[in-house]
Structure 1
Amino acid sequence: MAVNSSRIDEDQKEVLKKDTMLRMFKYLLDYKKEIVIVLFVMAGTITISLLAPLIMEYAINVCVAQKDMKGLLRLGAGAVVLYLLFLMGTKIRMRLMAEVSNKVLLNIREELYRHIQTLGFGFFDSRPTGKILARIIGDVNSLKDVLSDSVTQLIPDLLTVIFVAVIMLVKNYRLAMAALLTLPILAVGMFFIETTVHRRWQVYRKKTSNLNAYVHEDLSGIRIIQSFAAEPETKKMFHDLVNQHYRSFIDAVLVADAFGPLVEITWGLGGFLLYFIGIRIVGVEQIGIGTFLAFSTYIAMFWSPIRNLANFYNKLTTNISAAERIFDIIDTESEIMDQAGAEDLQEIKGEVVFENVSFAYSDEPDRLILNNVSFSVKPGETIALVGPTGAGKTTIVNLISRFYEATKGSIKIDGHEVKDATLKSLRSQMGIMTQDNFLFSGTIRDNIRYGRLDASEEEVVEAAKAVSAHDFIMKLEQGYDTVISERGAGLSIGQRQLLAFARTMVSRPGILILDEATSSIDTHTELLVQKGIDALLKGRTSFIIAHRLSTIRKADRIFVIDQGNIMESGSHEELLNLQGAYYKLYRSQFSQMEKD
């Protein structure tokens, strides 16, 4: 299976930027009412801003020319009222769009998170957790300004440019053409900048993801790093990743920052052409002073939103790569999902049947992990799986829980194909314990109850007692209310494992899977918990992957797995009498333990 790391840039499929933008802006349609209000308010503020130069023109050409002071005062009072309305309208639309954009970000983040939870183990096995976090947190946050400005800036500035251009053409088309003559230069320059900078922002996002993944991995493994005194090596790697991140940002910004000078240069040329043509070609005497001043104001009103639009385009180019990364995850199809017509699996009795089951990872279809495996397990039977590392033991139990999909063959529980059952009804009846059972930050009670959220206080305590966890819990300062940090820091490895046993016990599973579940427990603790393990095994079908002799010898049957198949099957005594693969494995791994 291909695996990405914190040192390797992620692969990402290419999509049209237009499609990404349209998809991103579609989230705004969920808030049509708020956006209609914003657009209505914007129409008022744009109208007021467009009237300002005309008011100035009338004041100079009429009121001042005719020395109409009363008319000038009335005009000034009206202008003040319009200005106050403009400020009020601007504040209203900015506040509304801030609320809308934050709600849209919430929706995108929740949609992304919900989808990630549906993805199979293959997705998580193939990339560092930090890279997934980078998309949920950083990439989503970067869309905020784009979503907000798309309504509060893009629409009003675009309308302003159009209306100003129309007014200028109506009032004096020659002056208008002079002012607009540099627009083609701006368009061509923006095109060349955008095509270059988009690729560079994509690289920057990938370097950000690499850095985030490395920091997450480094902090998660800090005990290993310190125990091997590897701080200098990790510091050097961090320095290299930070430098890559820094250089990618500089490379992108150097090109992106060309937007501003490009607009300023074309604006300056447009202003020069306006005055040159107006004074030298048309002649000042043919244009009223008020009209010329109004035109000067309009050209500022024209190029100011052009600059804003260029900045928005720059911002969009900067952050569209984040949207691409978000939708890349959302568009990742889950390999494991409820099939059409899937039905809830009723209470499991525990019969498990494999019929000619083969499995290979999707990116390595020719390398079979399991090859034509068949077996039948009766309800309540305990099966031990033994064999060398990589033989396929964990793959078998993962297929039972449908964490992976069989490449070929049939897997049935109580006569029902697992792929025809809903995932929730299947997995909620599975009790799965591994060597490294994850504990969540919170109280001990909450961690045990995670196995069944509606478990009563009595059931929680009963489960803890059954696996010999109750005594050590009660010795803690706050008992079951003791708060533990992520992964159970502060508890011994054995104590964490006992809590995981209690969590599994309270879930009352129909099928129990123990994958090296006792490997982290010392011999003394195992003796304490063995009674709890026996209680867990009693009356339910169980699959045990273990190297502990005490656990394996009690199994009803032992499957010796090697080269993706079941090489031998039978009880402990039967397999020893065969003196085959299990006998050799037993002699090499368990003989010393038996002497002890």
Structure 2
Amino acid sequence: MANNTGNAFNFGLFKRLISYTNPYKKTFYFVGIAAILLSVFGVVRPYLTKITVDESIVPKDSDNLILYIVLMLSALVLEVLFQFLFIYFANWLGQEVIRDIRVKLFEHMLNFKKQYYDKSAVGRLVTRAVSDIETIASIFSQGLFMIISDLLKMLVVLGFMFVQSWRLTLLVLVVLPFVLYATRVFQKKMKIAFEEVRTQVSNLNSFVQERLTGMKIVQIFSREKTEYNHFKNINEKHKKAWVKTVWYNSIFFPIAEMSSSITIGLVVWFGGLRVIQTSEETLSLGVIIMFIQLIQMLFRPLRQIADKFNTLQMGMVAANRVFAILDTKSTIANTGEIKAKNLVGEIKFEDVHFSYIKDEEVLKGISFEVKAGETVAIVGATGAGKSTIINLLSRFYEIDSGKITIDEINIKDFTLKSLRNEIAVVLQDVFLFADTIMNNITLGHPEIKEEDVIEAAKQIGVHKFISSLPNQYYYNVKERGVMLSSGQRQLIAFLRAYVSNPSILVLDEATSSVDSYSEQLIQEATEKITKGRTSIVIAHRLATIKKADKIIVMDQGEIVEIGTHQQLLQQDKGYYKSLYEVQFMQEEEI
């Protein structure tokens, strides 16, 4: 789609967009009929003006004058009524369409691989889902149907002009091709300009979203001035992109206005001379006045069409970007038919290879087994592949080769939803929504009741902490849980995992940034929720490692040792023993 940037119009894209009106065909056809009627009403009033001048004003017939004024008023009321219906239902149709597209887009994004979000700027995705889709609505409210209405009006006006006076119409047609050519050039230039505008809007949104989210880092490292200057540069590019569209408008609209004035002047000059010098019955003062009105009606839609094409082009650019996301194939294959339920929790990794970037393996053929009910600790240096293991178990990423099974069933054979329902994950970086603690724990799950949450909180020792907060379980933690400490956020994450009653628990139980009281609560919560269920823990504390039934030691994507704490300490020059002496011995002494 992106290759069509230079084309004035992409009919394939337009056809795809129009297909979203299929559920609303009656409204679509009604708006089309209203557009036709408006084009007819457009010539009725000038024609009544011509009759009024020729049959009432010139012969000074006051009786007919009143009649024609009433007729003009009636035509105006009907035109206003259909104009109202046309505008209302065109906008209504646009809102229905973008609602459907936005829902489809969000559903599509919900199923993207985690890898897609690793590579995509959140600000750009927000722009696509919000402002770009709003721009698509303008295709229907201010673009498509307005253009159709204006084109029909122009055709009807031209045809009516020929019927009334072909000589005066030829004068109009002398200037018209020049304006049409200028309009065509204008459309092409504006298409390219609006592509640039949308690109700069995305860049601006992405930059602002990221800096607001990371404002703490900006202020900690005193980067305010640098980020301010960076923002000024991006904002300047955004301004220049819009100024380019203003430049094209500044050239085109005066040309169109001048062309209209020249045409009216030619008609008044030629028609006036004909009325004065000849007795031609088909040409009268009323006809000249009517032609002045019709010329304005002909050129005004032409100017408006160019303006509406701006709107249409912006909408098409936005649609191109939105459909690019809808066409992105970045989902985990959900071809499994087995529903995972009440799993025993026996896990096997068999010669699993995985890479985030092709030919750069993160896991290099790892194999291990976790028996049902066991707690397995994974230790190793940063970048050893520990977190990758827990991501692969829940199928956030697809393995390159090898096999992962749960209860001797390949995880690819489970339906994705049922598999993830049976695995609860508590990450080191806890994410909380700007909502109440209760909603952050249940995540809207209808089967998890308030009393279940409170009872679970008591069992793992966090009820007291929650009860001390204003509104207790209905305390709003604000965006990303900023109203809570890191330790408190992690306790909420433990409770969220516990109430889901998973068959398998995966924990990244880092406590480097929590106070000693929260750390003690986290340790107690860890012991409680891992008891009796299969658990894989990326261990950061010696206490957790010692209590594990098995320790998997990783280094550079490979398993270098497996055993209990005591078994691994007995290996001379072993990797774990060295890690223990450097990292854990001091903790044990304390």
- TM-score, normalization: structure 1? 0.91
Closer, same or farther in 2 for the Cα pair 1:14/1:383, shift >3 Å?
Answer: farther
CA deviation after TM superposition for structure 1 residue 512, in Å:
0.7
Aligned equivalents of 2:3, 2:556: Cα separation in 1 = 36
Contact 1:346 1:425 in 2 (8 A): yes
* Match of residue 85 from structure 2: 92
- Give the one of 366, 369, 390 matched to 1:373: 366
Aligned equivalents of 2:365, 2:249: Cα separation in 1 = 57
* Match of residue 323 from structure 2: 327
1:580-595 matches, within 5 Å, as: 580-595=574-589
* Match of residue 432 from structure 1: 425
CA deviation after TM superposition for structure 1 residue 438, in Å:
0.9
CA deviation after TM superposition for structure 1 residue 517, in Å:
4.3
1:489-528 matches, within 5 Å, as: 489-528=482-521
- Give the one of 192, 202, 208 matched to 1:199: 192
Contact 1:451 1:503 in 2 (8 A): no
- Give the one of 98, 101, 113 matched to 1:105: 98
Aligned equivalents of 1:242, 1:414: Cα separation in 2 = 56
CA deviation after TM superposition for structure 1 residue 318, in Å:
3.2
1:245-264 matches, within 5 Å, as: 245-264=238-257
Contact 2:553 2:562 in 1 (8 A): yes
Residues 114-160 of structure 1: CA distance to partner in whole angstroms, max 9, x if unpaired?
A: 21111111121112322211222221222332221245412221111
2:285 maps to a residue whose letter is I
Aligned equivalents of 1:438, 1:102: Cα separation in 2 = 33
- Give the one of 118, 131, 156 matched to 2:124: 131
Residues 180-226 of structure 1: CA distance to partner in whole angstroms, max 9, x if unpaired?
A: 22333233323333333323322222222222122222222222333
Aligned equivalents of 1:284, 1:369: Cα separation in 2 = 93
Contact 2:378 2:551 in 1 (8 A): yes
Number of residue pairs the alignment of both structures matches: 583
Aligned equivalents of 1:387, 1:428: Cα separation in 2 = 28
Contact 2:361 2:557 in 1 (8 A): yes
* Match of residue 305 from structure 1: 301
Aligned equivalents of 1:573, 1:535: Cα separation in 2 = 23
1:373-392 matches, within 5 Å, as: 373-392=366-385
Contact 1:146 1:316 in 2 (8 A): yes
- Give the one of 541, 547, 558 matched to 1:548: 541
Contact 1:497 1:517 in 2 (8 A): no
Residues 217-249 of structure 1: CA distance to partner in whole angstroms, max 9, x if unpaired?
A: 222222233333332222222222222222222
* Match of residue 390 from structure 2: 397
Contact 2:55 2:64 in 1 (8 A): no
Closer, same or farther in 2 for the Cα pair 1:66/1:234, shift >3 Å?
Answer: closer
When structure 1 is superposed on structure 2, of 349-358 and 444-453 the one drifting more is 444-453
Aligned equivalents of 1:436, 1:199: Cα separation in 2 = 42
- Give the one of 350, 353, 357 matched to 2:348: 353
1:438 maps to a residue whose letter is F
When structure 1 is superposed on structure 2, of 227-236 and 459-468 the one drifting more is 227-236
1:84-483 matches, within 5 Å, as: 84-150=77-143, 152-275=145-268, 277-278=270-271, 285=278, 286=280, 287-339=283-335, 342-361=337-356, 364-450=357-443, 452-483=445-476
Aligned equivalents of 1:435, 1:104: Cα separation in 2 = 41
Residues 448-474 of structure 1: CA distance to partner in whole angstroms, max 9, x if unpaired?
A: 222844212221112212332111112
- Give the one of 46, 49, 53 matched to 1:60: 53
Contact 2:137 2:315 in 1 (8 A): no
Gaps of 5+ in 2: none
Closer, same or farther in 2 for the Cα pair 1:57/1:388, shift >3 Å?
Answer: same
Contact 1:97 1:151 in 2 (8 A): no
2:527 maps to a residue whose letter is D
Contact 1:379 1:540 in 2 (8 A): yes
User: Percent of aligned pairs with the same residue?
Assistant: 35
Closer, same or farther in 2 for the Cα pair 1:75/1:26, shift >3 Å?
Answer: same
1:348 maps to a residue whose letter is L
CA deviation after TM superposition for structure 1 residue 14, in Å:
5.2
Closer, same or farther in 2 for the Cα pair 1:214/1:66, shift >3 Å?
Answer: closer
Aligned equivalents of 2:141, 2:543: Cα separation in 1 = 64
CA deviation after TM superposition for structure 1 residue 315, in Å:
1.9
When structure 1 is superposed on structure 2, of 203-212 and 498-507 the one drifting more is 203-212
* Match of residue 15 from structure 2: 22
Aligned equivalents of 2:515, 2:394: Cα separation in 1 = 29
CA deviation after TM superposition for structure 1 residue 528, in Å:
3.0
1:305 maps to a residue whose letter is P
Contact 1:201 1:321 in 2 (8 A): yes
Contact 2:187 2:306 in 1 (8 A): no
- Give the one of 21, 29, 35 matched to 1:36: 29
Aligned equivalents of 1:94, 1:352: Cα separation in 2 = 61
CA deviation after TM superposition for structure 1 residue 439, in Å:
1.4
Aligned equivalents of 1:519, 1:154: Cα separation in 2 = 62
Closer, same or farther in 2 for the Cα pair 1:284/1:227, shift >3 Å?
Answer: farther
Residues 234-292 of structure 1: CA distance to partner in whole angstroms, max 9, x if unpaired?
A: 22222222222222222333224433223223333433444455467998633222222
Residues 65-87 of structure 1: CA distance to partner in whole angstroms, max 9, x if unpaired?
A: 55543333222212212211222
Aligned equivalents of 1:360, 1:326: Cα separation in 2 = 29
- TM-score, normalization: structure 2? 0.92
Closer, same or farther in 2 for the Cα pair 1:318/1:38, shift >3 Å?
Answer: closer
1:192 maps to a residue whose letter is V
Contact 2:340 2:422 in 1 (8 A): no
Gaps of 5+ in 1: 1-10
CA deviation after TM superposition for structure 1 residue 372, in Å:
1.9
1:290 maps to a residue whose letter is G
Contact 2:38 2:153 in 1 (8 A): no
Aligned equivalents of 2:166, 2:395: Cα separation in 1 = 72
Aligned equivalents of 1:263, 1:343: Cα separation in 2 = 67
CA deviation after TM superposition for structure 1 residue 446, in Å:
2.0
Contact 1:451 1:507 in 2 (8 A): no
Q: Secondary structure at the match of 1:271?
A: helix
1:165 maps to a residue whose letter is L
When structure 1 is superposed on structure 2, of 314-323 and 449-458 the one drifting more is 449-458
Closer, same or farther in 2 for the Cα pair 1:495/1:398, shift >3 Å?
Answer: same
Aligned equivalents of 1:503, 1:220: Cα separation in 2 = 24
CA deviation after TM superposition for structure 1 residue 179, in Å:
0.7
Contact 2:48 2:68 in 1 (8 A): yes
Aligned-pair Cα RMSD in Å: 2.4
* Match of residue 43 from structure 2: 50
1:331 maps to a residue whose letter is D
